[in-house]
Amino acid sequence: MHSFDYENGSLHCEGVDIASIAKQFGTPTYVYSKATLSDHYTRLDQAMAPVDHMVCYAVKANSNLAVINTLAKLGSGFDIVSAGELFRVIKAGGDPRRCTFAGVGKTVDELRYALENDIYSINVESLAELETINQVAGDMGKVAPVALRVNPNVDAKTHKYISTGKSENKFGIDFSRIEAAYADAAERLPNVKLHGLQMHIGSQLTSVDPFIEAVKKVAPLAAKLKETYGIEFFSIGGGVGIVYHETLPSGHPDWWTNDSPSASPLTIDRYAAAILPELKNLGLRILLEPGRLIAGNAGALVTKVLYTKKGDAKTFQIVDSGMGDLIRPALYEGHHDIVPVAEPTTDEKETIDVVGPICETGDFFVQNADLPKLEQGNLIALLSAGAYGFTMASNYNSRPLPAEVMVDGEQVHLIRKRQTLDDLIAGESLLP
């Protein structure tokens, strides 16, 4: 299900014309569909119904308060990676007791904040971190609920920057060392409770095979830890990929595919059907930590063509948004379908680069692409931008961050104001 489509010659998000959003709020602007967010969460939650489970939305994918609040109202848990993300969850009406805290570099202050708010579990990434958690909890007179993150050494076959489950990655404790770590914690660390076991092998996976391999490898370990230490849950991470290609016009058979236009889709139902047989008999609560899967195709970045520049080698369409607003193409060659907001009336295409205003050669959204003919002043939308878009944005080149809006049926809500120039220097000061 998705909510971006052409109606009456113009791209709409749900019941709202995106051209009207650009007119009201300017460009660049992120546009999110509440219906799509809700649908994706609900579909995953229902697919996992055969087992006791909790879907913990990965806040790093899109941390806007309105996005978090939408999911909290549906009963979502949350996967956080900083005290700031926990703060956002609380301010958005989420329950900290349904939060898991991941990340390899948690500070003492962050751990203290998490324990003060009675979060569900802390995912432990190293033995040194486990020692620190025990000390912090002891100083507070608390017992910290923890789940050690095991690195199963499974190749997710995704981009090297978002692979997390191999021995050479910085995440988790080696599979060969994990049982000894639980035994040591049970014997020596009185201020931690061995609450669960966690794994995560990578992001934007489009084949179910790595998930099956990882679950089959780790599930027997989870069963053993339950019997020995009484752990209560097994977190299998997130990572299911989404469509980035051919998202318009409507009629695409399934939106759940990946950055590669030739890859077959991995649907929520296929994913659940493949892993549930390995999980049903564990007698453990199953946690999932998806972010992109829920938010990715719920958003688009709307931008305007400033100039057309024709050279001997290239034709450039220069837009008013850049890598500071959406860094995926520059960072790891991520693809986003680019569509005109005004529906093309002919099949005429031109081979162009769509580039931004930032002073970097890497500031592009697409290169050598055959796209509908564009002219100065045209609006375009970069689709599938709801995850790892605004959350990775920066003020590079001292450019204000874009606005964010949420569409709910025929209503449009401003959920983040566009930054002003004064906002850029807030908190800075001159030398005396």
Above 70 in pLDDT, residue 425? yes
Q: Residue 364 corresponds to which tokens in the numbers above? A: 């592009």
Q: What is the pLDDT of residue 265?
A: 60
Q: Is the pLDDT of residue 164 over 60?
A: no
Model confidence pLDDT, tens digit, residues 333-357 = 889 999 999 999 999 999 999 999 9
In a domain, 432, yes or no: no
Task: Please state the φ and ψ torsions of residue 270, each to the nearest 5 degrees.
Answer: -65, -40
Q: Which of 12-26, 141-155, 340-354, 415-429 is least confident? A: 141-155
User: Is 237 marked within a binding site?
Assistant: no
Same domain, 277 and 341: no
Residues 45 and 86 in one domain: yes
Q: What is the CATH number of the domain that holds 199?
A: 3.20.20.10
Q: Is residue 115 part of a domain?
A: yes
In the chain, the amino acid numbered 410 is: E
Asked if residue 17 belongs to a domain, the reply is no
> Do the beta carbons of residue 27 and residue 300 sit within 8 Å?
no
388 marked ligand binding residue: yes
Bridge-based pairing state of the strands 10-13 and 403-408: unpaired
State whether 304 and 417 are in the same domain.
yes
Helix (H, G, I), strand (E, B) or coil at 302: strand
Using pLDDT thresholds of 50, 70 and 90, give the confidence band for residue 226.
Answer: very high
The answer to whether 343 is a known ligand-binding residue is no
Q: Give the residue from 262, 295, 328 where a domain finishes.
A: 295
Residues 6+ apart with CB under 8 A from 167: 151, 153, 174
- Identity of residue 174: D
Q: Which of 208-212, 250-254, 373-377, 399-403 has the lowest mean pLDDT?
A: 250-254
Q: How many domains does the chain have?
A: 2
pLDDT of residue 295: 96
In a domain, 151, yes or no: yes
Q: Is there a domain that residue 430 lies in?
A: no
pLDDT digits (tens, 9 = 90+) for 388-415: 999 999 999 999 999 999 999 999 999 9
Q: Which amino acid is at 120?
A: Y
Q: Angle 165-166-171 (CA atoms, 0-180°, nearest 5)? A: 60
Q: Are residues 316 and 280 in the same domain?
A: no
- The residues with which 412 forms a beta bridge, in sequence order, are 407
Q: Structure tokens of 431?
A: 């030398």
Same domain, residue pair 40 and 113? yes
Q: Give 244 or 264, the one with higher predicted confidence.
A: 244
Cα–Cα distance between 279 and 236 in angstroms, integer?
10
Q: What is the mean pLDDT of residues 25-46?
A: 97
Confidence tier at 240 by pLDDT (50, 70, 90): confident
Lowest average pLDDT, out of 92-106, 145-159, 258-272, goes to: 258-272
CATH number at residue 339: 2.40.37.10
In this structure, are 358 and 288 located in the same domain?
no
Say how many C-beta atoms besides its own lie within 10 A of residue 19's C-beta. Answer: 16
Do residue 281 and residue 187 come from a single domain? Answer: yes
What is d(CA 265, CA 253) in angstroms, rounded to the nearest whole number? 9
Is residue 320 predicted with pLDDT exceeding 50?
Answer: yes
Its domain, for residue 320, covers 4-12+22-28+297-422
**Distances in whole angstroms, Cα of residue 137 to Cα of each of 5, 110, 112, 185, 225:** 51, 12, 8, 14, 22
161 pLDDT higher than 90: no
Tell how strand 379-382 and strand 338-340 pair up: antiparallel
131 and 192, same domain (yes or no): yes
Is residue 431 assigned to a domain? no
Active site residue 359: yes
Handedness of CA 159, 162, 166, 168 (dihedral sign): positive
Q: Which pLDDT score is estimated for 262?
A: 39
Lowest mean pLDDT among 31-40, 202-211, 245-254: 245-254
Pick the last residue of a domain from 275, 295, 315.
295
Closest CA to 367 of 390, 341, 343, 334: 334
Residue 169 confidence (pLDDT): 56
Question: Among 295, 310, 326, which residue terminates a domain?
Answer: 295
290 annotated as belonging to a binding site for a ligand: yes
State yes or no: 289 annotated in a binding site.
yes
- 410 annotated ligand binder: no
In a domain, 282, yes or no: yes
